[in-house]
Amino acid sequence: MSKPNRGAKIDLFLKLSIAVMFIIGFLIFMYPFVVDAINNVIDQHRLAEVQIKNEKRSEADKKKRLKQLETENKQLHTIIPGVGSLADPFQTSLKKMESPKKEYFEQHMIGAIFIPKIKVSLPIYDQTNDFLLDEGATVLQGTSYPVGGKNTHSVITGHTGLAEKKLFTDLNKLKKQEQFYLHVEEKKMAYQIDRIRIVKPEDFNALKIEDGRDLVTLLTCTPYGINSHRLLVTGHRVKYPVQAAKKIRVTENYHRSRIIYLIAGCIFFILIFLYFIWRKIVLYQSQKRTYDFIFYLYQNGKPMPGVRAWVSCKGQDICRADKLIYTTSDESGVIKFSHIPGGIYCVETENGLRIKGKIWRVKDSVFTIVGHPSRRHKQIKQSMKYDIIESKGT
């Protein structure tokens, strides 16, 4: 019975430490992607729940609610011409309040926004505060509700750069002529982007109501991580396209598929990591025992006797008492090395073959042949066929 030397112990410790640090780093790297995907799926579920409840409402109730929002749009009082009483949505705070329950979000949800270009599918809430901003897109107080109509300008806000959600993080990728869609109280509207601006937080001039126009502006912080300015993406009302339904469905399915792929990828990566750890432990433990490296060497289906072979580990030939360990295949083509400490070894033959073997399980009695025999010298004739048949231990 042999024992691993101090170097083997240190090598195992270092490899396991590096592996653990790597997997921790991977999980930290994946955290925002997985959490964002989970939160998006939750958003889709919340939207679906509200939609089911809305379908159960009477037509009269739906029309009453829509009429109420349209009436409030007409009654907007403004400080500067065409703009309601505004405040920067990202400078207010409700952190001292208790987190509201599910019913609070359902009560304030009035619809959904879909931006297929950047895979956004979010609920829209009827006012802006910290709680609602963390869960989706919100209507900025003092601006029109997003129900369409002339002389309206709705401002829909969303966070950028949250660790748990992307929300409006990719808003800067939008370009003019691209479209986004609003579904509010079962009213479907499409808007085509015609203006993209970056302004200071206190500059509300770009949010004015314009005579005769139906506008929606998407608002978020910029630049990413600094948030010193506000990005404004403004679109005007256009005819709702037939292909919108397909684009929205693709966007919704994207979030569901994404979470499946991300979780499956993480599980696969963790399994690979655990396999790596298991293999390192097996190889370390196998060094406490000895095994036989044995196989049958054939050429064109016939045994190859008298072939000289030697064993090496990590490119270094194995010696005992300063003598190279070698053997010769017998009449049956058997090449055998006995009582070798566990690990990963290569047996090389005088005719240029290299056969790799390793210990698969500590309790095995022989090395497992891995891969296919490789030719070390180019001068070996390509027409010659070599077969390596492993000897299974009992």
Active site amino acids:
159, 221
User: Across the strands, what pairs with 212?
Assistant: none
Q: Is 214 exposed, middle or buried (0-12, 13-18, 19+ CB in 10 A)?
A: buried
Q: Contact at 8 Å (CB) between 141 and 126?
A: no
Cα 126 to Cα 139: distance, rounded to the nearest angstrom:
5
Instruction: Write out the E strands in the chain.
Output: 109-115, 120-125, 137-139, 152-157, 179-184, 187-199, 214-222, 229-238, 290-299, 302-303, 308-313, 316-317, 319-320, 323-324, 326-328, 334-341, 344-349, 353-358, 368-375, 386-390
Cα 72 to Cα 76: distance, rounded to the nearest angstrom: 6
CA triple 123-125-130, angle to 5 deg: 105
SS3 content of the chain, % helix, strand, coil (to 5): 35, 30, 35
Contact 340, 293 (CB under 8 A): yes
- Nearest C-alpha neighbor of 234 from the set 199, 193, 198: 193
Q: Which residues contact 272 (CB under 8 A, 6 or more apart)?
A: none
Farthest CA pair distance, the chain: 103
CA-to-CA separations, 339 to 281, 285, 292, 348, 364, in angstroms, rounded: 20, 15, 6, 18, 13
Query: Which amino acid is residue 300, in one-letter code?
Result: N
Classified as helix, coil or strand, 102 is: helix
Both structure tokens of 380: 């070996």
